[in-house]
Structures are given as C-alpha cells and as structure tokens.
C-alpha cells in the first residue's frame, strides 16, 4: 500500500512520544511511503527545537537518523509540487508547507497520514485528498491491515496448493512401493526419494515457486509457519516479519512447507482484523 507521511509522523520515528508505536507500524515492509523532500527540513527543525529547549542532550544521533530517512521514504522534489501546493493553500486557507503533503498525495494518488490535527481538519475542505489522522483507531486498523496483507493472489496460492497436493500423491505412491520394515513402517531409501523428487509434479512445484516474487515467497513461508504452529499463540505479523528477516533461497525447503499452506490460509482468514 502507498501512503504519504508528513513530518509530524516522521519525528515519531526519531523520538519516543505519544503515537510512536502507531507511527512505527508504517515502516512495515508492505507499506510504501512517500513525502515531499521538504520533510527533511521540517524534521531537522524539530531536532533543533528540542536541542534548543534542552529536551535532548545531543542532537547528532538524531541528525544521523534523519540522514537515513530517505531509506524509508521515497522523496518527491518539492519544486515539482510547489505550484499545486500553493493553489491548495489558497483554496483551503492553510500554509503552503503543509499543503506540500496534500499536493504530494494528489500527485501520487495516495492518502496522507498525519499526527497534525490542524492539517487533518483543514484538509477536510479539500476533497481531492484523503487525510488520515494517526491517532484515530480506524486508521490504526487500516495500517495494520495494510502492513500484513497478503501479496500473493489467491488464485496463485490455490495453484500452488494443488501442485503440492499432486506432488504429495506422487510421493505417497512411491513410498507405498517400498517394502515394509520394522513392522508396517515404510522407510524410503535415497533412491526412492530421488524418484519422486525428480518427478514432473515436483519439478512443476519448484518452477511455480521460483517464478514468484520475493514478497510472494515470503507469504508462502509465513503462511506455512503460521499454519503449523500448534499453540496458535503467535500473531500473523510475527511470522511475516520473521520471513522477511531470514535469507532463504532454498526451493526444496519452501516446497516442503506446502503441507501447511492451506492451514495457514484458513487460520489467517479466521484471525485477521476486518479492514473496514
């Protein structure tokens, strides 16, 4: 999901204050943030004010964090937005520097998230842009939903589940041909395993996974872990974030998780909050 953020949100990433928890939810992998480059000036000015008021001992660590802000936000040149921002400012009688965010939102076709009540209220007179106030409960719900929504399409997921089921049937058939040992236990040899791991159904399953985007493969891993958790105590966001943190490029491992994709999808439908 694409969102525009203003400086009132960005400074909550730098300082622990009311709304910091909600603001940091916007830094999730699945939310793409935009802002006019003027956000850096505004945030730097807040750091200066806090240093001047002796609210912080040293400004340098905060300035270093500010320098990394472009890693989290796509910055749009203010020079490209100033004409539209000026027109909006005249229309709603609100300062141009705030209206840069509204202009950015109109150009990018995305809502603005702000902790600035004055901007939120003034923007109600400009119907061309949707403005979300960070403190509003429904906004928090929208952000959580956007941060944890599946990227993979359901049709793609259904195809993968069906492909894994076909492969599983092939593997079961091969294992059934293995002579029982230790009572009724059938233990496949490496040669038996090579038979079903080199089968057309397995090769097709690996190809389907390999053709997925990075985010879609993250979904598959997270869904499997979510579905196989016995205690059902950890939230979906935990598994999704963990899947992003690990570096995995093992198609065989991902294919082996296929037993749990459906269970993960079923649990996700039961537990995910209503986005409305």
User: In this predicted structure, what is the pLDDT of residue 232?
Assistant: 92
Residues 109 and 210 in one domain: no
Q: What is the mean pLDDT of residues 118-125?
A: 96
Residue 91 sits in a domain of what CATH number?
3.40.50.1010
**215 versus 194: which is more confidently predicted?**
215
Structure tokens given for 261: 């994709």
Residue 191's pLDDT band (boundaries 50, 70, 90)? low
Same domain as 144, residue 9: yes
Q: What is the domain extent for residue 116?
A: 2-148
Q: Which of 67-71, 115-119, 189-193, 205-209 has the lowest mean pLDDT?
A: 189-193
Instruction: Name all contacts of 245-249 with Cβ < 8 Å and 24+ positions apart.
Output: 248/217, 248/221
Q: How many residues does the chain have?
A: 276
In a domain, 220, yes or no: yes
* Shared domain check, 102 and 55: yes
Q: State the pLDDT at residue 276.
A: 35
Residue 267 lies in a domain: yes
Q: Which residues contact 2 (CB under 8 A, 6 or more apart)?
A: 31, 32, 33, 34, 108, 109, 110
Same domain, 202 and 136: no
pLDDT score, position 194: 60
Identify the pLDDT of residue 200.
87
pTM of the predicted model as reported, rounded to 2 decimal places = 0.75
Q: Please say if the pLDDT value at position 193 is more than 60.
A: yes
Mean pLDDT over all residues of the chain? 90
pLDDT at res. 10: 96
Give the residue-averaged pLDDT of 123-151.
92
Q: Measuring CA to CA, which residue among 178, 177, 174, 171 is closest to residue 201?
A: 171
Residue where a domain terminates, one of 148, 178, 205: 148
For residue 184, what pLDDT is reported?
65
Q: Tens digit of pLDDT for each residue in 209-228?
A: 999 999 999 999 999 999 99
pLDDT above 90 for 134: yes
23 and 114 share a domain? yes
- Return the pLDDT at 275: 38
Residue 63 shares a structural domain with residue 165: no
Q: For the residues 130-135, what does the mean pLDDT come to?
A: 94
Question: Do residue 100 and residue 126 come from a single domain?
Answer: yes
Q: What is the pLDDT of residue 246?
A: 86
Quote the pLDDT of residue 248. Answer: 78
Question: Could you tell me if 164 and 260 lie in one domain?
Answer: yes
Does residue 129 contact residue 110 with C-beta atoms inside 8 Å?
no
Q: How confident is the model at residue 274 (pLDDT cuts 50, 70, 90)?
A: very low
Do 124 and 78 lie in one domain? The reply is yes
Single residue among 120, 148, 176 that ends a domain in this structure: 148
In a domain, 276, yes or no: no
Q: Under 8 Å CB-to-CB from 10, ≥6 apart: which residues?
A: 23, 35, 39, 42, 43, 69, 73
| Dihedrals phi, psi of 203, to nearest 5 degrees | -60, -40
Q: What percentage of the chain reaches a pLDDT higher than 70? A: 89
| Backbone torsion region of residue 232, taken as left when φ is above 0, otherwise alpha when ψ lies between -120 and 50, otherwise beta | left
Identify the band that residue 168 occupies on the pLDDT scale cut at 50, 70 and 90: confident
Residue 177 and residue 212 in one domain: yes
Regarding whether 231 and 141 lie in a shared domain, the answer is no
Whether residue 249 is contained in a domain is answered as: yes
Does the residue 38 lie in any domain? yes
139 and 168 in a common domain: no
| Least confident residue range of 198-202, 204-208, 234-238 | 198-202
């Amino acid at each position: 999901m694409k969102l525009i953020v203003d400086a009132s949100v960005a400074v909550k990433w730098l300082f622990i204050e009311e709304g910091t928890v909600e603001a940091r939810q916007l830094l999730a992998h699945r939310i793409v943030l935009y802002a006019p480059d003027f956000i850096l000036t505004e945030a730097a000015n807040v750091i200066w004010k806090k240093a001047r008021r002796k609210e912080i001992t040293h400004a340098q660590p905060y300035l270093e964090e500010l320098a990394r802000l472009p890693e989290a936000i796509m910055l749009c040149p203010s020079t490209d937005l100033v004409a539209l921002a000026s027109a909006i400012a005249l229309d709603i009688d609100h300062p141009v520097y705030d209206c840069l965010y509204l202009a950015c939102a109109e150009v990018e076709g995305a809502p603005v998230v702000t902790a600035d009540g004055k901007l939120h209220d003034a923007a109600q007179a400009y119907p061309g842009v949707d403005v979300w106030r960070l403190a509003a409960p429904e906004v928090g719900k929208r952000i959580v939903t956007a941060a944890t929504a599946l990227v993979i399409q359901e049709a793609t997921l259904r195809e993968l589940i069906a492909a894994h089921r076909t492969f599983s049937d092939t593997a079961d058939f091969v294992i059934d041909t293995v002579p029982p040992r230790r009572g009724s236990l059938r233990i496949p040899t490496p040669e038996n395993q090579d038979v079903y791991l080199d089968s057309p159904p397995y090769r097709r399953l690996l190809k389907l996974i390999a053709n997925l985007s990075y985010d879609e493969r993250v979904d598959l891993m997270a869904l499997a872990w979510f579905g196989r958790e016995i205690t059902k105590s950890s939230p979906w966001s935990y598994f999704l974030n963990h899947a992003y943190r690990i570096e995995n490029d093992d198609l065989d491992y991902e294919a082996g998780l296929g037993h749990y994709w459906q269970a993960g999808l079923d649990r996700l439908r039961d537990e995910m909050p209503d986005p409305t």
